[in-house]
Structure formats: C-alpha cells, structure tokens
Amino acid sequence: MRLNELSDNPGATPKRVRVGRGPGSGKGKTAGRGVKGQKSRSGVAIKGFEGGQMPLHMRLPKRGFTPHNQARYAELNIGKLQAAIDAKKIDVKKALDEAALVAAGVVRHRRDGIRLLANGTLKAKVTLTLTGATKAATAAVEKAGGKVTIIAKKTAETSKD
C-alpha cells in the first residue's frame, strides 16, 4: 500500500451541502436559516441566551472564591521521592533543591515552587531545599536522618508612586 492508494471508507465523508445556490437545490434563498432576524445573519453567537428565560449560569448558586493570583505549587510525595532514589535518578549524597528535582524528572514543572507531602515512606537520608513542606513530611524526612530547609517565598513588592 502506498500513500497515493489511501482513501476513506465509502460514506465516511458525505458531500457538503452547498446552501444558497438557487431554489432548485432545496437549500436556496434563506439557506435553511429561516426568515430575517438576528440568527439569520452571519457572525451571530448568542451564548447563554435562553429566549428571555433566566439563563442557567445565572440560576445556579455561586459559592466560594478562587483568587487568580494564588500561588500554585508542584506537589511531591515522599513515596515518589523514594521511588526516584531507588531508580537512581537522584544522588542522595548531594543536597537536593528544586532545580535538581526538575532536572531529574521527579517533578515535571516547578510552578511557584515545590511542596513536599507526606504520602508514602522514606528510607534514604536526603537533604532537601524546597518552597514548602507539610509537618508530617518534614517529620518523615528527619526520621530517616535527612533535613528539610524551607526557602522564603518571593513576595511581590508593592511600588509606591
């Protein structure tokens, strides 16, 4: 089989109906859009409009608030860290920072920092420098003989005009 011999299955691509091509075509004059009005014109999108009825997005209750400038952390479980150590992706003799974890492929994206979580068990002695860690995760690392250093978060300095 060659590229020039490839074709769709019969009936997979139906012929396109060419609208507005005269009364004999069956889709002439108004081209199936009805007569006059906003929806018969091109470029009209009435998103969420329900004919005067209160739209669904306005009927549903609104709860909570998500700040758009909230810090988003990449999460790292100590179980995944131990799995990376067992797979020899990480050298535990060196101090590990966020850049080393991203370079080793343990964390895909750093985002606003890496936060260590306590899911799983840790056997290796590691020295970590991260943006954040839970109390349980810090305790688990220290129990294994390691150390967790939390670096200060970068705060946006407000400029005074």
Q: CATH fold of 74-150, please?
A: Ribosomal Protein L15; Chain: K; domain 2 (3.100.10)
Residues 54-106 have pLDDT tens digits of: 999 999 999 999 888 889 999 999 999 999 999 999 988 889 999 999 999 99
Dist CA 153 CA 69 (whole Å): 14
| Residue ranges covered by each domain of the chain | 74-150
In the block, residue with structure tokens 């005269």? 22
Q: What pLDDT does 140 receive?
A: 94
% of the chain exceeding 70 in pLDDT = 94
Specify the pTM.
0.56
pLDDT above 80: residue 157: no
The token pair at 143 is: 């129990």
CB 115 within 8 A of CB 74: yes
Backbone angles phi, psi at 139, to 5 degrees: -65, -40
Residues 6+ apart with CB under 8 A from 8: none
